[in-house]
Structure 1
Amino acid sequence: MKSVTAPAEPRRGLGALAAGLLLPLLAACGDDHLTRYPQTTYAPRTEMAEIQMGLFNLTLYLGVAVGLVTFALLGWIMWKFRYRPEAPEPRQIHGNTTLEVAWTLFPALIVAVIAVFTVKAIFATQPEPPANALNVRVIGKQWWWEFQYPVNGGQDTIITANEIHVPVGQPVQLLLESDNVLHSFWVPQMGGKRDLITNRVNRLIFTPREPGVYLGQCAEFCGDSHALMKMRLVAHTPQGFQDWLNNEARPAVEPLDSTSSVAVGKKLVTQGVCAGCHVINGTPMVGRQGPNLTHFGRRRTLAAGIVENNAENLAAWVRNAPAMKPGSKMPQLGGDIPNALTEDQIQYIVAYLQSLQ
C-alpha cells in the first residue's frame, strides 16, 4: 500500500499572508482607532483639519491612480513584448511625438491640479480672525507650554500651562511665539503644525466642533526633552468653557485648617524653594520662570503631559525633576543632595499643590 503525502497548501499560506497584511489596514478603519492612535490626522475635528485632510486625500487618490495605471501598463508591456525567439523585433517608438507629449502633459496636468487645490487650501487655512474669535497667547518654553487668556477687555490675563482650554463652536486664534528656541505647535485633530519663532508672532485659527480632550506635542526638535514636550487641548461646551474660565480667574483657595499638612505645604511652597520660579495668584509668589500653579490640582497631567497628575508622580517630580525630564529647568530638590527637602516636606508640598483646584 502506497503512503500518501499530504499536498502542500500554498493557497492557505497566501491567504494567511494577505490577511496579515490587510488586518492592520482594516483595524485602522475601526471605531477604536482613536484609542490606539490618539494623535491621528484621520479624524479631523475642525474646518482647518478637514481642508488639510481633503488635500491629502486628493494627492493620495491621484497618486494611487497614477500608480495603478503605471503598473497596469508595465504588466501589459511585459506580457505583450515578452521574449520569444521566433518573434521579430518590436517596432521602436523613439521619436514618437504623440507618446512623448502624452507622458509629459499628463503628469504636468496632475501636478497643476494638485497645485491649484494646494494654493486654495493655503488661503483657506490662513484666514483673517473673525470678530468673535477667542484669542489665546501660546508661548513655547523649555520644555513646556504657557497659555494666556486676555479677559476684561485685555486688562487682566489668565495664565495656565500645558492644557489649552477652548469652547466648541467658537473660532479660536492662537498667537504663537517662543521665548527661547524654535518650537512647533501641533494638535493633529485641530489642524497642521505651526512654528513658534523668537521675535515673531504666528497665528493659527480654527473652530473646534466636538467636545473632548485632544493630544498634541511640539513637532520641532528643540532640545533635550523635545519628545517630552506634550500638551492637551480640552474642548468644552460654551457653558463648560465659561465655567472653567471663571474658576481660573479666582485666586488660590486658602487652607481651612492652619495646622493641616496642606497649610504646612503652602508655607513651604510660597515661602521656600518654589517661590523664586512659580506664581500662585493670591499669594506673595511672583516667579515667572516656571508654570503658573494657581489651579495646578485641576490639571490632568504634570511635567508637560508626560505623566498623570497624582500624588506619587508629583512627589517624584518635586524630588528629582531632571530624572523624569532630562534638561528640566526645575532642579533636584530631594534625595542625596545638600539642603535637600525631607520626604515629609515633599509630601506636604504635594498635599498643597493637589489642593489647588
Structure 2
Amino acid sequence: MMKGLKKWRVLALVTVLSVLLSACGEKDLSALSPAGQVGKDQHNLLLLSTGIMTLVIIVVVIIYVLAIMKFRRKKIGEDVIPKQVEGSMTLEVIWTVIPIILLLVLAVPTVYLTYKFADTKAMEVKKADNVVTVNVTAKLYWWEFEYPNQKIVTSQELVVPTGQKVYFKLKAGDVKHSFWVPSIGGKMDTNVDNVNKFYLEFDQESKDLKDGVFYGKCAELCGPSHALMDFKVKSVSQTEFDSWVKNMQATAKRTTSGSLEQQGEDIFKQSCISCHATSGSGTGTGIAPNLATFGDRNRIAGVLDHDEENLKNWIKNPQKYKPGNTMPKPEKINKGKEFTDEELSALSAYLMSLKIEN
C-alpha cells in the first residue's frame, strides 16, 4: 500500500513540475514570449485552442462527477432505475450543435491566419527593392541567407530590419530541415524538391536580449547533429540594416592588415577558399558557410564559444563537435598534413579579423 502511495506522490510531483516548467523560457528562444506579430497571432491562436479544450474538459468532468454523486446506489437505492434519455431529441441537438460551434470558433481564425501568413505576393513584385527577401538554404548542419535584392549573402547569422515584413524563400540542399525562430513565429519546412514561402515580422531590436540575438532552430530531425543546427537572428533598425547592407557589399574589396592575419589569409587561400567565401557580396556557393562576418559572430559552428581556442579545436577536428557535418579534416585540404600550431594561430587571427561591425 505504501509503495503505491509513493508512486502516486512521485507522479503528482512530476505532473506539477511539468506544468510549472512549461511556463519557463527565455525571451530570445520562447514561443510563449512572442516578439513579432506573426508570433503573437500564433500565440493567441494557441491560447484560444487551449481555452476551448480546457472548457470541454471542465464541462465533461463536472457532468461526470454530478452523475456519479446523484445516481450512486447508496443514495437512490438498489432498485431505482434513473430516467432513460436514449433518443432524446434535445440532447442529440445539444451535443451535436455545441461541438460544431466550438469547431467553428477554432476553425475560422485558423483558416484566416493560414492564408494571411501565406500571402507573399509583395516579394514577387518586380523591382521591389524596398522589400526584404531572404533566400534560406538549409544544409547539414548550417544555414545560408541570401538577400537577392541587396545582392549579399551571409551564413549562420540572419540580420533583419524591424517594423516591416521580412519574406523568406526556403529550400534544403541535402535533406529535409525546418526553419523556426520560436520568439518570432514559424515554423516552415525546407524541402529539396520545392520552395516554401512565408513572412515574419520583428517588432523589437534584439540588442537588449541576453546574447543580443534571437535564436533560430532546425525543427526537423535531420541527422546526428540536428540538435546543434542553430542560427542567430539580429533584428535592427532600418537605418542600421541599411548600414549593414553597405558594409556587406564593401567586403568584396576588403584588405587584410597585420602580418599574422596576412599569413592566415595566405593559408586560407591555399586550403579553405575552395569551399568558403570571405566576401558577403554576390550570391551563395552552397558548399560551405560564408565567412564574411565570422569575427562578428557570437558562436563558432553555431555552438562553441567565440574565441580562438575553440576555433582552433574546431578546425582540427570538426566531427568531434558536430558529428556528420561535411567540413573535412585538415589533412584533406592541407596536402595530407595537419595544421601546425603556428598555422592555426595565423588562420584563427585571420578569421577573427573578418568583421564589418565596430
Same fold (TM over 0.5): yes
SS in 1 for 2:343: helix
What is the aligned residue count? Answer: 329
Residue 204 in structure 1 maps to residue 203 in structure 2: no
Would the aligned equivalents of 1:165 and 1:235 in 2 still touch at CA under 8 Å?
Answer: yes
Q: Give the equivalent residue in structure 2 for 1:255.
A: 256
Aligned-pair CA distance for 1:23: 7.5
Q: Give the equivalent residue in structure 2 for 1:317.
A: 314
Deviation string for 1:200-225 (max 9, x for gaps)? Answer: 22112122110012111111122232
Q: Give the equivalent residue in structure 1 for 2:90.
A: 98
SS in 2 for 1:280: coil
Partners of 1:140 and 1:288 in 2: CA distance: 9
Give the letter for the 2:346 counterpart: Y
Deviation string for 1:169-211 (max 9, x for gaps)? Answer: 1221111112222111100122121111123221121221100
Deviation string for 1:230-267 (max 9, x for gaps)? Answer: 1111100112212222221122643333xx22121111
SS in 2 for 1:250: helix
Select between 246-255 and 229-238 the one with higher mean Cα deviation: 246-255
Partners of 2:84 and 2:292 in 1: CA distance: 79
Partners of 1:203 and 1:209 in 2: CA distance: 20
Q: Give the equivalent residue in structure 2 for 1:276.
A: 274
Give the letter for the 2:266 counterpart: K
Higher relative contact order, chain-length normalized (CA < 8 Å, sep 6+):
2
Using a 3 Å threshold, how does the CA distance of structure 1 residues 279 and 65 change in structure 2: closer, same or farther?
same
Q: Give the equivalent residue in structure 2 for 1:295.
A: 293
Residue 45 in structure 1 maps to residue 35 in structure 2: yes
Would the aligned equivalents of 1:276 and 1:287 in 2 still touch at CA under 8 Å?
Answer: no
Alignment of 1:34-183 (within 5 A): 34-35=25-26, 38-84=28-74, 85=77, 88-130=80-122, 132-151=130-149, 157-183=151-177
Q: Give the equivalent residue in structure 2 for 1:190.
A: 184
Using a 3 Å threshold, how does the CA distance of structure 1 residues 144 and 82 change in structure 2: closer, same or farther?
same
Would the aligned equivalents of 2:137 and 2:172 in 1 still touch at CA under 8 Å?
Answer: yes
Partners of 2:17 and 2:285 in 1: CA distance: 53
Partners of 2:111 and 2:58 in 1: CA distance: 27
SS in 2 for 1:279: coil
Aligned-pair CA distance for 1:151: 4.3
Unmatched 5+ stretches in structure 1: 1-16
Unmatched 5+ stretches in structure 2: 1-10, 123-127, 207-212
SS in 2 for 1:40: coil
Partners of 1:133 and 1:151 in 2: CA distance: 8
Partners of 1:119 and 1:18 in 2: CA distance: 38
Partners of 1:169 and 1:38 in 2: CA distance: 18
SS in 1 for 2:330: coil
Q: Give the equivalent residue in structure 1 for 2:221.
A: 221
Would the aligned equivalents of 1:187 and 1:215 in 2 still touch at CA under 8 Å?
Answer: yes
| C-alpha RMSD of matched pairs (Å) | 2.9
Would the aligned equivalents of 2:268 and 2:347 in 1 still touch at CA under 8 Å?
Answer: yes
SS in 1 for 2:133: strand
Partners of 1:63 and 1:263 in 2: CA distance: 63
Of Structure 1 and Structure 2, which has the larger fraction of its residues in helix? 2
Using a 3 Å threshold, how does the CA distance of structure 1 residues 287 and 56 change in structure 2: closer, same or farther?
closer
Give the letter for the 1:189 counterpart: S
Q: Give the equivalent residue in structure 2 for 1:238.
A: 238
Aligned-pair CA distance for 1:18: 9.2
Deviation string for 1:24-47 (max 9, x for gaps)? Answer: 756766xxx543x74211112222
Partners of 1:82 and 1:122 in 2: CA distance: 48
SS in 2 for 1:192: strand
Give the letter for the 1:54 counterpart: N
SS in 2 for 1:331: coil
Superposition TM-score, scaled by structure 1 size: 0.83
Superposition TM-score, scaled by structure 2 size: 0.83
Select between 343-352 and 90-99 the one with higher mean Cα deviation: 90-99
Give the letter for the 2:264 counterpart: G
Deviation string for 1:103-144 (max 9, x for gaps)? Answer: 222112211221122111111211234454201111111111
Q: Give the equivalent residue in structure 2 for 1:4.
A: none
Partners of 1:316 and 1:41 in 2: CA distance: 34
SS in 1 for 2:185: coil
* Percentage of pairs with the same residue: 33
Give the letter for the 1:69 counterpart: V
